[in-house]
Amino acid sequence: MEKIYLDNAATTQVRENVIAKMQDALSNFYGNPSSTHSFGRSARTAIESARKTIAKYLNAQASEIIFTSGGTEADNMILRSAVRDLGVETIITTKIEHHAVLHTVEDLQKEFGIKVEFVALDDFGNAKLSHLEALLKQDGSKKLVSLMHVNNEIGNTLDIDEVCQLCQEHQALFHSDTVQSIGHYPWNVQETPVNFMTAAAHKFHGPKGIGFAYIRKNSRLKPLIMGGSQERGFRAGTESFHNIVGLEAAFIAAYDNLEEEMAYVSGLKKYFLDSIQKEIPTATFNGHSGDMDKSTYTLVNLCLPIDPQKALMLLFHLDIKGIACSKGSACQSGSDAGSHVLNEILSEADLKKPSLRFSFSKYNTKKELDYVVEVLKEFVQE
């Protein structure tokens, strides 16, 4: 049976050259990067090279890149440190952020008594920037805005430059969860002066368990994990050397091939949208995921005209047919509460219908999409 992987927003297939780099690191560079002998120095040199590589592509400084276990740790580290160390009293966010942000903010509210404000959303799930501006003007408290650049479920993209400008005008800090966009979009942190960003290698064909935080210089954040002096004292613990090397290789490949792969994956999404509209015209697209100009080119969130009882079998049916997709974020797949994102933007009637997230990569083909559309069409018409 053919196996088709369309859950790339959850995680991606690791590039072959990345695997080769990691195997070499595990075999030949096994010294502790903090050791002063030649084995350790070789590992340390490679880690600092990876840091400089990432900084170069982001137009950042190497000292602003802190390696973490992934996006969740980076989000937690930044938000918690901002409240604890920088005196942030108000966090402004939305109700459709990733739970790495939402749950952290909830916890900070309980622990530190901070004020939490939610930016209003339009019918498609976009943050209303006029409301954001009003919230920024509200009082004299120290504020941090946390808004994701690309929503991981519905693919909406934020006008991040405008948010940066608003935050600067009102002396607020700006943190953006960029896990779904780093590796997929070009970045220049000098032109887009965000204070904090986060990334995870496994979203752009790198290994799981490694990512980084971008923390603009002179931020005055202090470490959450205490111990040794790794990561310039900001994150203690022996570095995951082979994963850092893998992250660097995936990062280089993503950006050296960005234009070509962006065009290819965009073509796949456009083809999928056109095919769904032709073959299942009663289907709808959640958020702005059906709009090539207002959402990321990597995913589609599809609402199918199926009754609730029949919908219970949909994911199982697709799995039997060899199709991997998602009904929401992989991070909440064990929950029966449904998507917190869709709960905010869909009508009661549409919430009763099944919604699926299909996310694409360079490894997918139009032939695969033809098969998926045909399987969906048959299931809807049964």
Catalytic positions are: 331
Q: Quick one: DSSP state of residue 15?
A: P
Query: Nearest Cα to 120, choosing from 104, 108, 132, 109?
Result: 132
Is residue 360 a contact partner of residue 299, using CB atoms and an 8 Å limit? yes
Is residue 172 a contact partner of residue 134, using CB atoms and an 8 Å limit? no
φ and ψ at 251, to 5 degrees? -65, -45
Q: Are strands 284-285 and 143-146 parallel, antiparallel or unpaired?
A: unpaired
| Separation of alpha carbons 82 and 216, rounded Å | 12
DSSP for 318-342? HHHTTEE-BSS-GGGTT-SS--HHH
Question: CA 374, 375, 376, 381 torsion: positive or negative?
Answer: positive
| Separation of alpha carbons 244 and 182, rounded Å | 16
Question: CA 333, 335, 338, 340 torsion: positive or negative?
Answer: negative
| Strand blocks (E) in the chain | 4-5, 65-68, 90-93, 115-118, 143-146, 173-177, 196-200, 211-215, 284-285, 299-303, 323-324, 355-359
